[in-house]
Amino acid sequence: MAEIVYPPVIRTALVLFKALDLKIRIEGAERVPRTGGAVLASNHVSYLDFIFAGLAAWPSRRLVRFMAKKEVFANPVAGPLMRGMHHIPVDRSAGAGAYGAAVRALRDGEIVGNFAEATISRSFTVKEIKNGPVRMAADADVPLIPVAVWGPHRLWTKGRPRRLLQRHVPVTILVGEPMLPGPDAPLADLTTELRRRMAELLDRAQRTYPEIPPGVWWQPAHLGGSAPTPEEAAALDASARTRRAKPGADV
């Protein structure tokens, strides 16, 4: 397919990141295959994760087709870019169409990106994950690659004001060893293993992150930060769902 949008978007982002002096560290990029399909399964801490998780594949000169909720594609600014980059819209009320599109893309040799937690983690830990990434990799018979991103939440995350022009923010992107589910994969066991690997990568990214003042909001509670605990985050998510369910809600 023609790639007239995606590469310029990445290059523009890299220029902006350099201007902001973001300290981007990528480890394990060589684990992203240079050819053939693969699923990148990433944690989710910010609204910018698709940009940074996608950078994990850039050294291999691969473009990642991310699965994203259909509302993003309806945005007058983001929508044309998302479609131009051939990302995959997801209707959460009818996910079979997006799943089928993702599997077809994988069989065609594309790399598909998936945020297995489905929503941003307010606690900045790995929430319970969906089995979609494992199922897709198994159905398409392609590798499943765990990824952890850490740092973009300081620029823009749920419940916090945007600070997109903040300078000198370190960003860590860690790529784990590929998993090979295969067509007869035990989905429950492999989903548990995927979550374990994602959590292990994220913990390493957090513990090796530079310049962490005590008590900062962007550090998880179990590492001395003031972010919500997983239990508090779950309560906040439940409250947000209740507000959205009310007639006329716009949240």
pLDDT digits (tens, 9 = 90+) for 109-134: 999 999 999 999 999 999 999 999 99
pLDDT given for residue 103 in this prediction: 98
Mean pLDDT computed over 150-178: 97
Give the pLDDT band of residue 246 (cuts 50, 70, 90). Answer: confident
51 phi/psi in degrees, rounded to 5: -65, -50
Least confident window among 53-57, 147-151, 158-162, 246-250: 246-250
d(CA 3, CA 31): 23
In-domain check, residue 227: no
Give the pLDDT band of residue 221 (cuts 50, 70, 90). Answer: very high
In-domain check, residue 248: no
In-domain check, residue 123: yes
What mean pLDDT value characterizes the chain?
A: 95
pTM of the model: 0.94
Mean pLDDT computed over 201-230: 97
In-domain check, residue 243: no
Mean pLDDT computed over 144-161: 97
In-domain check, residue 251: no
Asked if pLDDT for residue 193 goes beyond 60, the answer is yes
What is residue 94's DSSP assignment? Answer: S
Kindly report the number of other CB atoms within 10 A of residue 216's CB atom. Answer: 13
Mean pLDDT computed over 211-230: 96
Kindly report the number of other CB atoms within 10 A of residue 1's CB atom. Answer: 10
**Domain span at 116:** 6-215
Give the pLDDT band of residue 249 (cuts 50, 70, 90). Answer: low
146 phi/psi in degrees, rounded to 5: -75, 145
Mean pLDDT computed over 159-183: 95
pLDDT given for residue 250 in this prediction: 54
Count of domains forming the chain: 1
Strand ranges (DSSP E) for 34-182? 38-42, 64-69, 88-90, 111-115, 144-150, 170-175
Give the pLDDT band of residue 185 (cuts 50, 70, 90). Answer: confident
CATH number of the domain within which 81 lies:
3.40.1130.10
pLDDT given for residue 251 in this prediction: 46
Name the residue among 146, 190, 1 with its Cα closest to residue 86: 1
Asked if pLDDT for residue 94 goes beyond 80, the answer is no
In-domain check, residue 239: no
User: Higher pLDDT residue, 246 or 87?
Assistant: 87
Burial class for 209, CB neighbours closer than 10 Å (0-12, 13-18, 19+): middle
In-domain check, residue 146: yes
In-domain check, residue 172: yes
